[in-house]
Structure 1
């Protein structure tokens, strides 16, 4: 294990990996309590011959060699639960590495359950037990302790064995294509690029009145842009519940705004309160046709009572048969949108690819009344009607 604090050391180590390895395992340690973007503190990279721990806070180190390495399409980069790690690299590099593999997704396909943790995979695949006592330690502190370094090293050392094991299982079951949709999501910039204009859809709504939705959209967008500009968590700027209350009560003066419970003095700082009022006025003058609209899920449109439950039974049967996590086949939202379809839509996730073969085809026949479920001994089976 090599602890790297200088640019030339990083260049030398990565050059060696490029010459020797077809894949490396990568993990990061970061803090995010006080910032919008994660603060990168350490990067761990393990090749077949060496493991390096890169001190990203060292004043003598440039991360440019690491970024070039991440862009190298000849080397596979293996992560576990990659989304947050890739978000960090996207923010720093302004692009997403494309040659990646996520062992958490692969484990879901290979029968290890939903969102299985790294510690569980290490235990079940390698028989080793991880010491997780340093998981929530302060990674900005220097020097890092021996316990922290040992913990950081373990997060990439065992990942090599996990990757080899899972990739063999995927090949044996001919399921490499099963993880392609999820990997495509991880490789997409849209996954990590904030969209201020859509942030309102994540909030709990008070009603569906058009100008209320317009105010909510405007204020959620303003909050997101300000949080990014100041690099602070959005909830620290304005809490979700306060934001929805402001949009609902529609204040027209700064006093009305700051008198609201939870608003406090922060809304008067740097003229934020005035910006809020300006956005409210603008939203209130929008023509109704230009106000945001709720989608089917937000409007509360649901399938008939019991239909989702019926498909959940089929989902459970198929997940057990194929030894794959239920969530990877379909979520509750997938089932609801599927049941609301009037005709087969090949763009729906359950109506094309492996999900159609495993679940969607039979689910559609149940939906159309051509198949049903029956009890055969101790088992539930699918039958024609």
Structure 2
């Protein structure tokens, strides 16, 4: 197998001309996201006109021309397991595709399993073996070895036959519209803004706190998130969740009191003032603005019985429609639906996925 390595603007220019003429893009990305909040793109792979292109973003001077060409004309982006690839593209280009095709999700709709890997899907559909021996590569290191380049190229080599096979069978089984709806929902979710005042709800252990403590946690969660963004570091590198909960419960007011919390000295030195200020802001909130206590699903007395009943309906529907249970009705989706029911089926709120779109067609809850 051969590939073309694009590591200069001179080589990129004729490729951009080819990209501009195609309505579909077969893509993959290699990136690193170990010690940063934002993913760092190391390589962009593109299969086009029977050639695998490896585009090196670290050496191109005119990288913006690549993004402009890729996102022009509402092209269809074809990936395998695209959620992280979309994160990378959104970070690098500040754009998202308008149309996507995820071969992993398409395979799930056709009964291949909820999250089949690329190599396994290639083996099943194309009867070819794809090595995964370079999974732990540092894609920001240069130069890349021939083995690394070969591995990266293989990740797009088979996207075209996968796409053709999956598209045909989605259509023949009447699932094309279901799949298209799922892709649109995925893109919509990627475009949703972060609600800073709601971040505290996703902190493990938040359900244990009282409203006055949650008011502090709300401020700490906002501070941690904005700090992670500004410093480009993972949120847990700023401060782990368990410390946010402990700080919200104990609410230290001075540096001496803060020192009683088992936070690493370097974190306390770097962020101590900001932590104390966030605590003070939370404590100064008016009582009526405190968040309500967080209810766990298990706190609703009928939850176990209701969950079991809906799970049975989903299991039968998944089998009848050759769908993975995880795709049709995961625990998260069941809980979303039950919470909506328990809270009075607010007609002004967005309907749960189980009773919307293609899932509603299949389940008829």
TM-score, scaled relative to structure 2: 0.91
* CA displacement, residues 248-272 of structure 1 (integer Å, 9 cap, x when unaligned): 1110111211331134231222xx2
Match of 2:292 in 1: 293
Give me the whole-angstrom Cα distance separating, in 1, the residues matched to 2:333 and 2:34.
Answer: 32
Seen in structure 2, the aligned counterparts of structure 1 residues 62 and 152 have a Cα distance that, compared at 3 Å, is same
The structure 2 residue matched to 1:15, chosen from 14, 17, 33, is 17
Match of 1:144 in 2: 144
- Please state how far the C-alpha of 1:192 moved relative to its aligned partner: 7.0
Please provide the CA RMSD for this pair: 2.2
Give me the whole-angstrom Cα distance separating, in 2, the residues matched to 1:291 and 1:263.
Answer: 29
Seen in structure 2, the aligned counterparts of structure 1 residues 229 and 298 have a Cα distance that, compared at 3 Å, is farther
Match of 1:81 in 2: 81
Q: Check the 8 A contact 2:89/2:96 in 1, yes or no.
A: yes
Seen in structure 2, the aligned counterparts of structure 1 residues 216 and 37 have a Cα distance that, compared at 3 Å, is same
The structure 1 residue matched to 2:356, chosen from 352, 357, 362, is 352
* CA displacement, residues 159-183 of structure 1 (integer Å, 9 cap, x when unaligned): 1111111111111122122123432
Give me the whole-angstrom Cα distance separating, in 2, the residues matched to 1:311 and 1:354.
Answer: 17
Give me the whole-angstrom Cα distance separating, in 2, the residues matched to 1:214 and 1:125.
Answer: 53
1:88-107 equivalences under 5 Å are 88-107=88-107
Give me the whole-angstrom Cα distance separating, in 1, the residues matched to 2:286 and 2:74.
Answer: 53
Per the alignment, in what secondary structure is the counterpart of residue 166 of structure 1?
helix
Q: Check the 8 A contact 2:75/2:98 in 1, yes or no.
A: no
- Please state how far the C-alpha of 1:65 moved relative to its aligned partner: 2.1
Match of 2:183 in 1: 183
Seen in structure 2, the aligned counterparts of structure 1 residues 339 and 355 have a Cα distance that, compared at 3 Å, is same
Q: Check the 8 A contact 1:5/1:61 in 2, yes or no.
A: no
The answer to which structure has the higher helix fraction is 2
Give me the whole-angstrom Cα distance separating, in 1, the residues matched to 2:235 and 2:225.
Answer: 6
- Please state how far the C-alpha of 1:186 moved relative to its aligned partner: 3.0
Give me the whole-angstrom Cα distance separating, in 2, the residues matched to 1:40 and 1:183.
Answer: 23
* CA displacement, residues 323-343 of structure 1 (integer Å, 9 cap, x when unaligned): 111122112233234345266
Match of 1:42 in 2: 43
- Please state how far the C-alpha of 1:146 moved relative to its aligned partner: 0.8
Q: Check the 8 A contact 2:74/2:98 in 1, yes or no.
A: no
Give me the whole-angstrom Cα distance separating, in 2, the residues matched to 1:11 and 1:194.
Answer: 37
Per the alignment, in what secondary structure is the counterpart of residue 46 of structure 2?
strand
Gaps of 5+ in 2: none
Give me the whole-angstrom Cα distance separating, in 2, the residues matched to 1:157 and 1:205.
Answer: 45
Seen in structure 2, the aligned counterparts of structure 1 residues 326 and 302 have a Cα distance that, compared at 3 Å, is farther
Q: Check the 8 A contact 2:44/2:57 in 1, yes or no.
A: yes
